[in-house]
């Protein structure tokens, strides 16, 4: 039996997220299972393998059968909510779950990546229609070095590489869903402001030389509205709403 099969995961669930639990051995994308559906808030779609997985900015998300944790969660947010902040909410939840379940320090790279030992272990994809968000999460769990993407914007890793042991994907999924529900509920009450004390210590970009589009400078704190503070070379301070963050020459990421 797979560690992601319903009979393995459902007894581990501790909140309302994961009802219903929609499991597939193979599917184009878990995002497509929930998009435009009438499933309730907290519904989860999970796959052992995606044939057309996708990441941010239209990139492909490739995986090896039954090694990664690939799932989407349906979030029915209040009208007018600041939906882009949910990538940071989800990233924080994933980082907390990795630390609690796998005992590995995890950092958040604005706006939608989670890192372990300076390498990407997870990514977040938000796709919204009105106030309904399908939050896709991909976590590299049991891949070997040879099964990771050979070319990527960030060097990739897996939890198996970081911990030197295989990880139970079902237990990790249950932990992520628990943390996501907790952080989402906190976000509903106080927005991202109420999560900054937990998020900022995980802000892996802070103090590093970066470039975002045509602007270069030093990354600072994550603002209460989810934007990234950037101190430009001429000392002006701007808030970056979106964009690809490139590290300055010679800059490497660390876990903090």
Coil/strand/helix, residue 202 = helix
Rounded distance, CA 106 to CA 162, Å?
A: 11
Decide if 111 contacts 118 (C-beta within 8 A).
no
Helices (H) and strands (E) in the chain, counts: 6, 12
For residue 254, being part of any structural domain is answered with: no
Task: State the pairing for strand pair 68-76/132-140.
Answer: antiparallel
Task: Give which of 41, 51, 46, 38 is closest to 21, Cα–Cα.
Answer: 46
pLDDT tens digits, 110-131 = 999 999 999 999 999 999 999 9
Q: What confidence score (pLDDT) does residue 255 get? A: 45
212: domain CATH number? 2.30.30.100
> What's this model's pTM, rounded to 2 decimal places?
0.94
Distances (CA, A) of 106 to 37, 62, 99, 114: 33, 22, 7, 7
Containing domain of residue 216, as a range? Answer: 202-247
Q: What confidence score (pLDDT) does residue 256 get? A: 41
For residue 252, being part of any structural domain is answered with: no
- Same domain? For 101 and 142 the reply is yes
Helices (H), the chain: 6-9, 30-34, 86-102, 159-163, 169-190, 196-199
- Same domain? For 228 and 161 the reply is no
- Same domain? For 217 and 107 the reply is no
What is the dihedral sign for C-alpha 68, 96, 176, 135?
A: negative
Residues 6+ apart with CB under 8 A from 221: 200, 203, 206, 229
Q: What confidence score (pLDDT) does residue 152 get? A: 64
Number of independent structural domains in the chain: 2
Helix (H) or strand (E) holding 23: strand 21-24
Mean local confidence (pLDDT), 55-84: 86
């Amino acid at each position: 039996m797979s560690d992601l099969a319903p009979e393995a995961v459902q007894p581990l669930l501790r909140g309302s997220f994961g009802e219903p639990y929609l499991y597939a051995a193979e599917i184009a994308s878990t995002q497509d299972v929930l998009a435009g559906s009438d499933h309730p808030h907290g519904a989860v779609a999970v796959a052992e393998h995606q044939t057309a997985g996708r990441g941010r900015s239209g990139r492909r998300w490739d995986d090896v059968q039954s090694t990664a944790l690939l799932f989407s969660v349906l979030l029915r947010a209040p009208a007018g909510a600041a939906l882009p902040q949910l990538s940071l909410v989800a990233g924080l939840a994933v980082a907390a779950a990795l630390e609690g379940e796998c005992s590995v320090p995890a950092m958040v790279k604005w706006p939608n990546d989670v890192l372990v030992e300076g390498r990407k272990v997870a990514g977040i994809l938000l796709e919204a229609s009105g106030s309904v968000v399908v939050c896709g999460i991909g976590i590299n769990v049991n891949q070997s070095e040879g099964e990771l993407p050979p070319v990527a914007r960030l060097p990739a890793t897996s939890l198996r590489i970081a911990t030197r042991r295989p990880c139970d994907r079902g237990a990790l999924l249950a932990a992520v869903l628990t943390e996501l529900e907790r952080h989402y509920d906190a976000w509903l009450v106080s927005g991202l402001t109420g999560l900054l004390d937990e998020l900022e210590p995980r802000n892996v970009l802070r103090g590093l030389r970066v470039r975002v589009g045509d602007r270069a400078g030093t990354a600072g704190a994550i603002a209460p509205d989810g934007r990234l503070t950037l101190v430009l070379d001429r000392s002006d301070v701007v808030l970056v709403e979106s964009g690809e963050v490139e590290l300055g020459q010679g800059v490497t990421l660390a876990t903090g």
